[in-house]
Amino acid sequence: MEQMDFNGTIQFPLVAGATLVGLYYAMEYFGKESVNYFVLAYIAVGGTAGIKALLNMFVDGMFAKYDEDFVIDFSISMIGLEIQMTLLDFPCMIVSCLAMLVYVYTKNWLYNNILAFLFCINALQTLFIGNFKNGFMLLILLFFYDIFFVFGTDVMLTVAKGIEGPIKLMFPKNYSTALDKPQYSILGLGDIVIPGAFVSMCLRFDILKLVSVEKF
């Protein structure tokens, strides 16, 4: 589980904004297709951790012995690159890459939503805000972040509509015909994960409080 401290809370909107602007200009200079391939490849590799987390959740540590020692372990301190992989990571990566290949082939909005929900579940399992002060500050900063990038500029909508990947939930507004492409309402995963992480923290607090009361 990754715990966010106060400094991380302040930096989060800045890093998110820089990434969003970077994708926006990358789409402008390199084209949407090139950025889409990069994002899908990144999700295919990064989804390994999510597949492993779901696997461990369903089989309750049955394959834990294959996830103990690193088969690949190296780092490049100059650029901050660190790669660590266990035996369990390899089949999980294969499953993740196959899932993205199916997505590229089908481009189905239902399949997109299934993958997006899985990403949300994994994020809520691994992200912990830390305390209420961090959560409150993060929600306030992201409130102004959304106002600027959604209403002040076209950056967020351009990136969200331009990237064809499971980074958002899609709901059809109309049914396509032979001439018209389907239109979708979209909801970014950040709008689910960040408030969900705050609610998850509140739930953990309630559970710990209940346990402490039962002990006495």
More confident residue, 75 or 141: 141
- Is-contact 124 183, C-beta < 8 A? no
Copy the structure tokens of residue 24.
Answer: 């926006």
End-to-end CA distance of the chain: give it in Å, rounded.
29
CA atoms within 13 A on the CB side of 180: 9
Q: Which residue range forms the structural domain that includes residue 211? A: 2-215
Q: Record the tokens describing residue 103, joined without a space.
A: 């997505």
- The answer to whether the beta carbons of residues 66 and 87 sit under 8 Å apart is yes
Domain count, the chain: 1
Residue 178 has pLDDT above 70, yes or no: no
Active site residues: 146, 191
Count of residues for the chain?
216
What are the tens digits of pLDDT across the range 134-175? 888 888 998 899 889 888 888 888 888 888 888 889 888 776
Average pLDDT, the chain: 83
CA distance 113 to 205: 30
Q: What is the pLDDT of residues 113-137, one digit of tens each?
A: 988 888 888 888 888 887 888 888 8
**Res. 179: pLDDT tops 70:** no
Q: How many CA atoms does the CB half-sphere of 176 hold within 13 Å?
A: 11
